[in-house]
């Protein structure tokens, strides 16, 4: 399950794009809305969530990973 970006809260700062080590947001232009290009590459590391100054990103952790994520 890919990260979810709230279009109303997102200020298009591209911090999530810069911090993601797995290039989930590959191809997003600077100053553009973050496009989730490779959702299957997400490791649920929470970097994009913690880096977002507006709190516009949230992760949907798959059920089989919820215990490991806690």
CATH code for the domain of 62: 3.30.70.20
The stretch 53-65 carries a mean pLDDT of: 86
How far is 3 from 48, CA to CA, in rounded Å?
9
Q: Is the pLDDT confidence value at 69 over 60?
A: no
**Whole-structure pTM value:** 0.79
Full residue range of the structural domain in which residue 59 is found: 4-69
Reported confidence tier of residue 1, pLDDT bands at 50, 70, 90? confident
Whether 36 and 4 have beta carbons less than 8 Å apart is answered as no
The pLDDT tens digits for 28-45 are: 998 899 999 999 999 889
Give 64's pLDDT tier (boundaries 50, 70, 90).
Answer: confident
Question: How many structural domains comprise the chain?
Answer: 1
Confidence tier at 17 by pLDDT (50, 70, 90):
very high
Structure tokens at 70: 């806690």
Residue 45 CA to its chain's centroid (Å): 9
Measured CA angle at 62 (ends 60, 67), to 5 deg: 105
């Amino acid at each position: 399950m890919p990260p979810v970006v709230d279009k109303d809260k997102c200020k298009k700062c591209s911090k999530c794009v810069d911090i993601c080590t797995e290039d989930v947001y590959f191809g997003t232009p600077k100053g553009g809305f973050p496009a989730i290009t490779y959702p299957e590459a997400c490791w649920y590391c929470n970097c994009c969530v913690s880096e977002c100054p507006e709190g516009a990103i949230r992760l949907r952790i798959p059920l089989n990973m919820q215990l490991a994520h806690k």
